[in-house]
Amino acid sequence: MDNEFVASSPQMQEVKKLISLVRGISVNTIIMGDEGVGKSLVARLIMPNAIVVYGDKPEDVLKALKNFDEIIIEDFERLPNSDSLYMDGKKIVATSKKRIKDSTLDRIFGIKIDMAPLVERAEDVPVLIKHFFSKAKKELYIDGDIDMEGVAVDISSNCHSLKRACYHSILCSNISKDQLGSMMEEYFYTHLGESEDNYKIFLELFDSSIINANHRKFKSQLMMSYKMGINRNTLRKKILQLGKKLTDE
């Protein structure tokens, strides 16, 4: 797991401060927030050596409570018997995507950390993109500079979707002709339909990618038709057929 706390927003600086304050003392903590906001990372930064169990596996939670003093319970909201579990004398750090009952909060947890979604802390997006790119380069053994501008930023699932978008972008920009060929073959193979217009469907996919790439590079339809070596009317017709809305820049 990537245990680096990457953030520059004031909200996350406050969370960073809380991590340093709660680490090393016996205070049960619950970390709440949407998918991908970094709850698991914060839990592991508070208790790096704790056993990790999941709320949807209550038998594992019971075993951990019996055998360990420091326990991270992920997806606490899915733990069916949280009100009846004996947790005294243990240090618990839990994560939850949903709000949990006040009575449970009051019985178990000293503090609650709320993690804001990325949409509320835009300052963190560029630093996270930089972090994911550098991580991906290391993991995928890619040398040289990568253009981070081209990444289609997706924060619908916060860091999860952003990380996927970064890896997707880095893989796409470093793919060889052969790799692309085998990827397309694999894609076509798994998506072959029962209909008799497979060729048309896949050709559209092909056309669409070529037109998008040319538009990104050459900006205007005039330049695109010149560089693609096709008539401007033919290009316009194809754009219309594909239902694209391309504006000249």
Partner 1 sequence: MNKQPITINYQNWLEYDYNPFFVFGKHGEMLTLNQPAQFLISKVDPKTLYELAIAYASRDFGYKTTIIDLKFDVFSFFALTVGYESEDEIGIKLYQTPYLGPKKVISIKECEFTNIYHLLDLCIATATPRLKADFKKDIDPALPDFKLSQNEFVKVLTRTYESFEGSKEITTELKLKTGEFLQVTGKRFQILKLKVTGENRATSKDALIEEISSNINVFTNFNEKEAVLNIPLIL
- What is the binding site for partner 1 (CB under 8 A)? 11, 14, 17-18, 21-22, 25-28, 88-89, 106, 109-114
Nearer to partner 1, 30 or 211 (CB): 30
Alpha-carbon gap, residue 28 to 46, rounded angstroms? 10
CB of 51 to partner 1, least distance (A): 19
CB of 157 to partner 1, least distance (A): 23
CB of 8 to partner 1, least distance (A): 16
Nearer to partner 1, 112 or 135 (CB): 112
Question: In Å, how far are 125, 127, 162 from 159, measured between CA atoms?
Answer: 9, 11, 5
> What's the helix, strand, coil split of the chain in %, to 5?
55, 10, 40
Question: In Å, how far are 23, 70, 207, 239, 243 from 215, measured between CA atoms?
Answer: 52, 55, 12, 11, 15
Chain centre to alpha carbon of residue 216 = 25
Nearer to partner 1, 100 or 113 (CB): 113
CB of 17 to partner 1, least distance (A): 5
Nearer to partner 1, 30 or 53 (CB): 30
Nearer to partner 1, 23 or 238 (CB): 23
Alpha-carbon gap, residue 40 to 201, rounded angstroms? 42
CB of 70 to partner 1, least distance (A): 13
CB of 109 to partner 1, least distance (A): 7
Cβ(118)–Cβ(82) under 8 Å? no
Nearer to partner 1, 39 or 131 (CB): 39
The DSSP H or E segment spanning 72 is strand 70-74
Q: Which residues contact 230 (CB under 8 A, 6 or more apart)?
A: none
